[in-house]
Amino acid sequence: MSHLQVCTRCVLSSSFPRLTFDNQGVCSICREYDRWTSGWNSKLPQQRKTLEKICAGAKNKHKEFDALVPYSGGKDSSYVLYMAKKELGLNCLAYTLDNGYLSENAKSNIDKTCRRLGVEHVYYRFNSDLMNRLYALFVKKTGYPCSVCMRAIAVGIYKFADMYDIPIVIQGTSLRTELPLSREMAEHGSLPHVRAVLKGEPIAAECKRVLCDMSIQRKVGHILFRLSGRKNPVTYAWFNLAEYIDWSYKVIFDTIQRETGWTGSEDTEHMDCIIHPIQKYIQNRRFPDLDLDRLRFARLVMAGQMTREEALRKIEKPAEQCPDSVLKLFLNNIGMSKDEFDNFIDMGPRHLHYNSPTFIEKIVRTVFSSREAGKY
């Protein structure tokens, strides 16, 4: 690590792809973060009013549910569910993708939270044999299996939102407190990517629903919502709650423990998925100097929710490794030996080779180039 330059403000190092440093030693992501979040706190009261207007609009549609909340059982989405139901008065449907690897702790949190808040909840589980074969295919072709779940989560959102004609979808991903992984590190399961990987594969015939897209009405609704400056859901809207309210982990953690009985460690990310450490395994093998914890703490430092000293102290400890039992379970289920798996990982981030947006998707990407903001 000694040969790497470390940002003087956060803890990112020059091992992060394309990171540059200014003459004060501050990294380009810190500088971008400053520009992006400047004036944010003074806009909060106005944002809260906008949020309430959006929610009133959804309630006025008098649908069976006002909002769909994709619910992993983790702390962010538990907070979204609490806020949506109790603070914003929305009649919510919570939905969880069960990828077959949900932890008992996540299931217990989901059960407790939904009962305490009085929220209806559905699990969506794809055929687990099919999921495992998809993970295997993605490992072979791209070296990165997580796109399968990302895609499956999106499919569930489209399906349930359409089934009950739910006007808004509320997520809890905060780019203010979570650093997006660079494109070399992760792929988010976009439709063009998954379509490109499945192209010409026999398995594609079995998983048409994996390739399902958002309905045209919802797409148009989404475009209208964006054109209104994320203020007016003319028909449908899909947004991150973190864009409208303060996103302080201290408040989030205290609130969900008190109000929903949520249990778990403040420090652990994605404890809802048993095989989540596989991502860490891939990351550590491919980018030995770029531990995911360092990225997580760096963003919390940028957000003022952790001091740089605390972050440095935490990353001094040897990074947590993917437990052997998790790797064994995953490899056994996808029918792959460890040597084969390592070999596929060592072939580099091949997910970058699979990205074939259609003409219309290219136009949407160009028009809404701000969508790419905050992606590295």
Binding residues vs Zn ion (CB under 5 A): 7, 9-10, 12, 27, 30
Residue 105: CB minimum distance to Zn ion, A = 33
Residue 18: CB minimum distance to Zn ion, A = 13
Residue 370: CB minimum distance to Zn ion, A = 22
CB nearer to Zn ion: pick between 7 and 300: 7
CB nearer to Zn ion: pick between 22 and 254: 22
Residue 26: CB minimum distance to Zn ion, A = 6
Residue 312: CB minimum distance to Zn ion, A = 13
Q: Is 109 exposed, middle or buried (0-12, 13-18, 19+ CB in 10 A)?
A: buried
CB nearer to Zn ion: pick between 5 and 355: 5
**Whole-number Cα distances in Å, 203 to 98, 137, 222, 311:** 21, 9, 31, 44
Supply φ then ψ for residue 168, to 5 degrees: -130, 150
Going by DSSP bridges, is the β-strand pair 120-124/67-70 parallel, antiparallel, or unpaired? unpaired
Residue 295: CB minimum distance to Zn ion, A = 11
CB nearer to Zn ion: pick between 9 and 176: 9
Residue 25: CB minimum distance to Zn ion, A = 9
Residue 255: CB minimum distance to Zn ion, A = 29
CB nearer to Zn ion: pick between 10 and 114: 10
Crossing angle of helices 128-142 and 338-346, rounded to 10°: 50
Give the separation between CA 121 and CA 94, rounded to whole angstroms. 5
CB nearer to Zn ion: pick between 258 and 313: 313
Among 78, 69, 72, 71, which residue's Cα sits nearest to residue 257? 78
Give the separation between CA 73 and CA 97, rounded to whole angstroms. 10
Task: Establish how many alpha carbons lie within 13 A of residue 177's alpha carbon, considering only the half-sphere containing its beta carbon.
Answer: 20
CB nearer to Zn ion: pick between 7 and 196: 7
Angle at 59 between CA 56 and CA 64, to 5 degrees: 165
Q: Please, what's the b/e burial string for 211-228 (b: 16 or more CB within 10 A of its CB; e: otherwise)?
A: ebebeeebeebbeebbee
Angle at 177 between CA 176 and CA 179, to 5 degrees: 90
The answer for residues whose C-beta is within 8 angstroms of residue 27's C-beta and 6 or more apart is 7, 9, 10, 12, 16, 19, 20, 21
CB nearer to Zn ion: pick between 27 and 300: 27
CB nearer to Zn ion: pick between 22 and 129: 22
**Whole-number Cα distances in Å, 1 to 28, 29, 311, 321:** 19, 20, 16, 18
Residue 376: CB minimum distance to Zn ion, A = 12
Task: Establish how many alpha carbons lie within 13 A of residue 209's alpha carbon, considering only the half-sphere containing its beta carbon.
Answer: 15
